[in-house]
Amino acid sequence: MKKYNRVIALLAATSMTATLMAGCGNDASTSTTTQTDTTTTAESTEATSTETATTETSEAAETTEVDANLPSLVGVEPDTRLAADAYSELWDTDSYQTESAEVYQRILGEYYEAYQKALAVDNISERYALMAVAEAKMLESGVFIPLTTRGGNYAIRRTLPGSVTGTLWGNDDYRLHNALITTELVDKDTYTELKTKLNELKGTGTYQKEAKAYVTAQGYTLKDTVNTGYTSDPKTWDVLATSRAADSEVLVNLYDGLTEYDVEDVQQPALAESWEVSDDGLKYTFKIREGVKWVDSQGREVADLTADDFVAGMQHMMDAMGGLEYLVNGVITGASAYIDGETTDFGDVGVKAVDDYTLEYTLEQPTPYFMTMLSYGVFAPLSRTYYEGQGGQFGQGTSAGNYGTDPDHIAYCGPFLITSHTEKNSIIFKANPSYWNKDNQEIKAMTWVFEDGSDVTKTYTDCLAGTIDSAALNTSTIETAKSDGNFDKYAVVTVTDATTFCGFLNTNRKAFVNFNDSTTAKSEKTVWDGQRTSIAMQNQNFRLAIVTSLDRASYNAQSMGEELKLNNLRNSYTPGTFVSLPEDVTIDINGTATTFAAGTRFGEIEQAQIDADGIKVKVWDATADDGVGSSDGFDGWYNPTVAKEFLSKATEELAKQGVEISKDQPIQIDLPYFSGSETYTNRANALKQSLESSLDGSVVINLIKCEAADDWYYAGYYPDYGYEMNADMMDVSGWGPDYGDPQTYLDTMLPDYAGYMVKSLGVF
């Protein structure tokens, strides 16, 4: 079995070539999921430089001598060949892992050290507090800037509140079998009243019954079909071989998990009828529902579902290495050894079928959030017999045979079957006649219509025509809806969620064309320009200059409109309200014992560390939401004055490495964008304008046109490795939580292929 060649030891062994800032330390793509209250814009060079030695003040880092190990362009003759043609000569895959480890240590070494301290403690409050400190270090590194979250926009809809779970983690919010949809657009008064009812009735198990009675009394007609838009076809139909949201939002409707969060956010039995946890918290035993059938795409029964199918699913997931395996690495006993190839015997892994209908997981240590992990695809079952019948093998890496190649080569145990899929056109679902819970299923059929975003008015007109049930309003359709009267009658503001979309900075760029097609998203930079940008991107002050120069409100206004441009801005990676402390805790912040009271939110602790480090960035507003506090709804990063201060320091430091930064010799940053969409074009231009204005033209953005949405995705969303990332800056992706613990975010920036999003930084 081919596993990772791990180079983590290098991180421990390599001494830092510079001191970082004193006191400083889940993949979603762009998509439109109108049926679930969300509109998403939803995971190098020869030279590798490092952070210049710094001690951070409130403005910028102090300059010291440049470390002799830093790469330099001093005395190097500029290579004027196109990077797209010649850059591949400057690196090789054999040395890429070692290079990645060195770059990672420089850019995120202090975050990594802080995070390991958090993972080493058992007390939940101390763990949360130290994780907040670790995230502060991550943000202070400037390797990315949080941009937005899903939702927070105007929409018109036939979908009622409480159609899917509001739980912030996992995939259950993509499950549509119990959605409540009316044939008519829902007016804003009705929608508001139902939101109130949902909040009042949460936990009672009565909301859906009350909601149906209420809308019927108001003259609405409920229907049993869903019509919605989608923006990216599944790249695989194998739920255990993908961590892409664009895949999962389809596939989660085709199987059931052990449990499922209902629309009132209560975890309910699904394929597990009941479960028990041992007194030591190390063993979870599930009783599997009997009588559940596996069927093929035609609805023909192919097998009975048993406990062994969850064992098969876990092994296949680890074999496939599709980005899910990190979730159980270090959680389930033996998982790490199997994933790393230290053992090929899956019997050593802590997932067992005790009998046909008893499933047992054994954990390495008590994991309080383990049950919240069950709603994610990593715990999906797999029909062992069907998989093997498709040529799938276990213990042989990605050898899945024909399994998952299309909807006709998977087994189903969920509420829907796929009857038709036409790429970039439609996905048609019908109810599974053998579904174990079909008598309680609200939706019997679904039609998903491809929307590529090239026509900014199409979703609005499609919604009015009934082609889709709901539509987010953009700057163009807001005005149309106001003029035709639909805005005042139907427009509501959708809820936000825990997905965080980011602007990632590539610190180790290798690709200057898309990895799947060398004619698309082609950079016009020379090799010399690529080298200069790479060295600059590995300078902390330079990165901080970039992330504080971006007017995110102006960027967001291009899709949300002026009125709501701040509404879904996010200022942290983990939402500030994601968790709070169960009890009082005292931790060290820059040498000062600091106590946080029970109930303190994650974001407040994060802000305390950032303030102590003297970084002028605001990630938490304690006054927001009537004093509850929030990391959303304001721009705490954009500050041209501070950006200039960071750039001034970076300019001084980088000059010693042979990199001039000036209006005559600006650093060039390639930003791919989807030119087929007016909205995305305007957003890219907003970033270009604000950065170049803030930094007085000493840094410029080259807008790289992607005429097809897929070209944009291949530049920065579809790559599996950092060396495939074809951008210096990319705003096409983000992260949504897999389970209910901050670790689900922080793990994504771990080194050595363990962190799913670290590839966006050009490493691993």
Q: Which tens digits make up the pLDDT trace of 468-499? A: 999 999 999 999 999 999 999 999 999 999 99
CB burial readout 148-170, b (16+ within 10 A) else e: bbbbbbbbbbbbbbbbbbbbbbb
What average pLDDT does the chain have? 92
606 and 754, same structural domain? yes
CB distance 737 to 727 below 8 Å: no
Confidence at 397, pLDDT banded by 50, 70, 90: confident
- Give CA separation, 31 vs 206, 521, 715, 733, 734, in Å: 32, 20, 16, 10, 11
* Side-chain-side CA neighbours of residue 112 (13 Å): 20
Confidence at 106, pLDDT banded by 50, 70, 90: very high
Interatomic CA distance for residues 604 and 580, integer angstroms: 9
State the pLDDT at residue 538. Answer: 98
* pLDDT score of 716 more than 70: yes
If you search the block for the tokens 């657009």, which residue do you land on? 185
Confidence at 71, pLDDT banded by 50, 70, 90: confident
Cα first-last separation, the chain: 20
Which residues does residue 358 pair with via DSSP β-bridges, in sequence order? 287, 355
71 and 29, same structural domain? yes
In a domain, 10, yes or no: no
Q: Which tens digits make up the pLDDT trace of 118-153? A: 999 999 999 999 999 999 999 999 999 999 999 999
Q: Which tens digits make up the pLDDT trace of 494-515? A: 999 999 999 999 999 999 999 9
Phi, psi of 75 (to 5 degrees): 80, 5
State the pLDDT at residue 293. Answer: 99
- Here the tokens at position 356 are 């046909």
Confidence at 27, pLDDT banded by 50, 70, 90: low
571 and 694, same structural domain? yes
User: Of 640, 636, 669, 617, whose CA–CA distance to 549 is shortest?
Assistant: 640
174 and 81, same structural domain? no
- DSSP tally for the chain: helices H, then strands E: 21, 28
In a domain, 78, yes or no: yes
- Here the tokens at position 615 are 């970084």
Confidence at 398, pLDDT banded by 50, 70, 90: confident
Last residue of a domain, one of 358, 389, 414: 414
In a domain, 685, yes or no: yes
- Here the tokens at position 51 are 């952070």
503 and 359, same structural domain? no
User: Of 664, 682, 662, whose CA–CA distance to 674 is shortest?
Assistant: 682
State the pLDDT at residue 458. Answer: 96
- Here the tokens at position 453 are 């975003």
% pLDDT > 70, the chain: 91
State the pLDDT at residue 13. Answer: 29
User: Of 289, 290, 351, 355, whose CA–CA distance to 317 is shortest?
Assistant: 351
175 and 59, same structural domain? no
In a domain, 13, yes or no: no
Q: Max alpha carbon distance in the chain (Å)?
A: 80
CB distance 115 to 129 below 8 Å: no
647 and 569, same structural domain? yes
168 and 128, same structural domain? no
State the pLDDT at residue 234. Answer: 96
* pLDDT score of 730 more than 50: yes
In a domain, 279, yes or no: yes
Q: Which tens digits make up the pLDDT trace of 684-707? A: 999 999 999 999 999 999 999 999
CB atoms within 10 A of CB 373: 20
* pLDDT score of 60 more than 80: no
State the pLDDT at residue 684. Answer: 99
* pLDDT score of 171 more than 50: yes
Q: Which tens digits make up the pLDDT trace of 514-573? A: 999 999 999 999 999 999 999 999 999 999 999 999 999 999 999 999 999 999 999 999
CATH number of the structural domain spanning residue 332: 3.90.76.10
Task: For residues 50-78, give the mean pLDDT.
Answer: 58
In a domain, 9, yes or no: no
Give me the number of domains the chain comprises.
3
Last residue of a domain, one of 414, 440, 472: 414
300 and 356, same structural domain? yes
In a domain, 263, yes or no: yes
Last residue of a domain, one of 360, 379, 414: 414
611 and 510, same structural domain? yes
Phi, psi of 759 (to 5 degrees): -60, -30
In a domain, 256, yes or no: yes
31 and 160, same structural domain? no
- Here the tokens at position 24 are 């400083």
64 and 187, same structural domain? no
Give me the domain span that covers residue 331: 232-414
